[in-house]
């Protein structure tokens, strides 16, 4: 009796295929300009809904500063204000969805957008939040370490004492120089892995590692353009903090909508 052998390798049609990586495109400064125009158009189309996300983000910033003052943690103020813009991509999730639906010609209301945001906790966005929180933890840890080492004899009990120690002493200048360099490196790293990862996770069924790799590829292939975009975001966000965070009501939605359209141009 002969036994019938079977090939242990399943046919290609039955073998699970890994998801293909998104294609990364070359973009120019004109793409940033076009994306800004589209983002501003999205904001004007639904100003109240867009402004809601900016207002929520601004209120969170005001609450953060109030808590630091109430708890007497004045020394954390600079670190918190630097880290605050880094969590903006999460606040923009609803804005990405608004731009996606408007671009597709779909109608939507408050429930549609808020439901999509709530559903993100079941997807890979939670892992991106973990990555962001890890970078923020490193930032706060190194900030405190440098603060203690360089300004060990300074008083941080009130705002005036902290400002005098940081701005009017050689030790304070050293602290600002070191903190600025480290903060810039961490911010650049976080920007690189998240710049298109957030809208990509919202738009497609992709894992967060692939989304981060795609984001890195976008920055690596378009370093000058993406660096320019990072500078626009940084300057705009910092200027928006000056009038009691209220500028974020307008700038955050426009930057969020713009990020979606720039993502559409960089990834296909």
pLDDT (0 to 100) of residue 4: 45
Residue 124 clears pLDDT 80, i.e. is over it? no
User: Greater confidence, 76 or 7?
Assistant: 76
pLDDT tier for residue 256 given thresholds of 50, 70 and 90: very high
Q: Residue 197: which of 59, 89, 38, 76 has the closest Cα?
A: 89
Among the ranges given (4-13, 16-25, 92-101, 207-216), the one the predictor scored with the smallest mean pLDDT: 4-13
For residue 157, what pLDDT is reported? 65
User: What ranges in the chain are assigned the alpha helix state H?
Assistant: 29-45, 47-70, 77-83, 88-91, 93-103, 110-119, 125-150, 159-167, 170-194, 197-203, 208-221, 223-241, 248-266
Instruction: Quote the tokens at residue 51.
Output: 């402004």
The yes-or-no verdict on residue 212 having pLDDT over 90 is yes
Mean pLDDT of 80-97: 84
The predicted model scores a pTM of 0.84
Residue ranges of domains in the chain = 27-266
| d(C-alpha 103, C-alpha 101), whole Å | 5
CB-neighbour burial class of residue 72 (10 A; exposed 0-12, middle 13-18, buried 19+): exposed
pLDDT at 2: 46
Region of 105 please: left (phi>0), alpha (psi -120 to 50) or beta: left
Q: Are residues 233 and 192 in contact, defined by beta-carbon separation less than 8 angstroms?
A: no
Q: If DSSP codes are grouped into helix, strand and coil, which group holds residue 137?
A: helix
User: Per residue in 9-34, pLDDT tens?
Assistant: 555 454 545 557 899 999 999 999 99
Task: Report the distance separating Cα 170 and Cα 168, nearest Å.
Answer: 7
Residues of the chain above pLDDT 70, percent: 88
């Amino acid at each position: 009796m002969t036994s019938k052998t079977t090939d242990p390798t399943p046919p290609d049609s039955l073998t699970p295929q890994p998801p293909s990586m998104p294609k990364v495109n070359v973009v120019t400064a004109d793409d940033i300009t076009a994306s800004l125009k589209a983002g501003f158009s999205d904001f004007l189309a639904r100003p109240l809904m867009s402004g809601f996300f900016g207002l929520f983000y601004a209120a969170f910033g005001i609450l953060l500063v109030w808590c630091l003052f109430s708890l007497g943690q004045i020394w954390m103020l600079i670190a918190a204000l630097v880290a605050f813009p880094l969590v903006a991509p999460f606040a923009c999730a609803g804005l990405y969805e608004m731009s996606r639906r408007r671009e597709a010609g779909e109608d939507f209301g408050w429930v549609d957008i808020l439901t999509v945001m709530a559903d993100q906790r079941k997807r890979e966005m939670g892992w991106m939040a973990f990555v962001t929180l890890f970078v923020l933890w490193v930032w706060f840890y190194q900030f405190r370490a440098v603060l203690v080492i360089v300004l060990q004899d300074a008083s941080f009990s009130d705002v005036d004492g902290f400002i005098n120690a940081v701005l009017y002493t050689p030790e304070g200048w050293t602290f600002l120089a070191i903190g600025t360099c480290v903060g810039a490196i961490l911010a650049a790293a976080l920007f690189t892995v998240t710049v298109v990862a957030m809208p990509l996770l919202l738009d497609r069924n992709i894992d967060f590692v692939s989304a981060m790799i795609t984001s890195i590829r976008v920055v690596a292939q378009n370093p000058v353009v993406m660096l320019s975009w990072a500078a626009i975001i940084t300057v705009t966000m910092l200027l928006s903090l000056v009038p009691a965070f209220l500028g974020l009501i307008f700038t955050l939605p426009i930057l969020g909508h713009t990020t979606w359209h720039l993502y559409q141009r960089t990834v296909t």
